[in-house]
Amino acid sequence: MPATTLGRAEQFVWLTARVLEQRRFAFHFLDGGGDPVETALDAYRNDDGGYGHALEPDLRGPVSQPLHVAYALRVLDEIDRCRGARAERVCRYLSAHSTPEGALPAVDASLRGYPYAPWMPVSDDPPGDLLATGPVVGLLRRNEVWHAWLFRSTDFCWAAIDAMERTHPYEVLAALAFLASAQDRARARAAVERLGRLVREQQLVLLEPERAEKAAVPEGYAPGEHHYAHDFAPSPDSAARAWFTDAELERSLDHLAAQQTDDGGWPVTWREWAPGTALEGRPMVTIEALRTLRAYGRAV
């Protein structure tokens, strides 16, 4: 096993990752190109303009789902290809599968009959959900995509964020993804400040990683499924960076670096409900861990 953090992670990726994560790793850390990443991502694209085939590992089966689309847009954004015909195809899918208020459900009813994580129930008339809508709108806005669907979905996201009181980390992360590219910057800054207060008041961030075994987790989360400062602020230019002191963030990054396991990868913290989901998820979180450490100048 190589001695460096990056070398150990590379061994882990070649040993375990899907082709898509292998290509993403090469793009971010080995001077790989964007074409192979997009080619690998196209294997998950469906004729309806959406993405399926367990692109997001907790939703199995071939059918397109909003959470798959959110992940696909993140990948396209990484390689600077989240515009033009690619975005148009995605927007057609979004328009056809949104709720009456223009939002996206976390899980579309088409998933019925295929395996999926038990905490993601399938219903015939699913409501709009910030978890799916916020990241999608944020990424499309970030890439200056203009489509009629974005007007109603943007209004939905603002209303959901303004009404947010009791919340949980994944909802906060979805809100941050939207706010990062919201056009009304003054309103976005005020919303980010308010979210930061909620996160601290409701103890949604674990600021003392050494207490992880004794600290409570949000309702419904897996044992040990904590969120740390680096989760909310994965880079120095993150909107949530101002929520944390330098010392708090350094402790968080120390903890993240120490989480690399003997096989070179990082563990998943969410609930493992099927053998393949953890195998596919670990390379994904490994890439994000490396990107976060590098963004803060940590040697990898």
Model's pTM, two decimal places?
0.95
- pLDDT at position 275 is 86
Which of 99, 104, 95, 115 is CA-nearest to residue 48?
95
Judge whether 236 and 295 are in contact, CB under 8 Å.
yes
Q: Tokens standing for 209? A: 């990683």
Question: If you average pLDDT over every residue of the chain, what do you get?
Answer: 96
- pLDDT at position 61 is 95
- pLDDT at position 3 is 87
- pLDDT at position 115 is 94
Q: Tokens standing for 266? A: 């990082």
- pLDDT at position 121 is 84
- pLDDT at position 99 is 94
Judge whether 15 and 261 are in contact, CB under 8 Å.
no
Residue-wise burial string across 169-192, b where 16 or more C-beta atoms lie within 10 A, e elsewhere: bbbbbbbbbbbbbbeeeeebeebb
Q: CA 163, CA 91: separation in Å to the nearest integer?
A: 26
pLDDT tens, position by position, 27-41 = 999 999 999 999 999
The owner of tokens 């008041």 is: 201
Q: CA 52, CA 59: separation in Å to the nearest integer?
A: 8
Q: CA 5, CA 110: separation in Å to the nearest integer?
A: 41
Residue-wise burial string across 199-231, b where 16 or more C-beta atoms lie within 10 A, e elsewhere: beeeebbbbebeeeeeeebbeebeeeebbbbbb
| Least confident window among 171-185, 207-221, 236-250, 275-289 | 207-221
pLDDT at 84 over 80: yes
pLDDT tens, position by position, 6-34 = 999 999 999 999 999 999 999 999 999 99
Question: How far from each other are the two terminal CA atoms of the chain, in whole angstroms?
Answer: 15
Judge whether 145 and 83 are in contact, CB under 8 Å.
yes
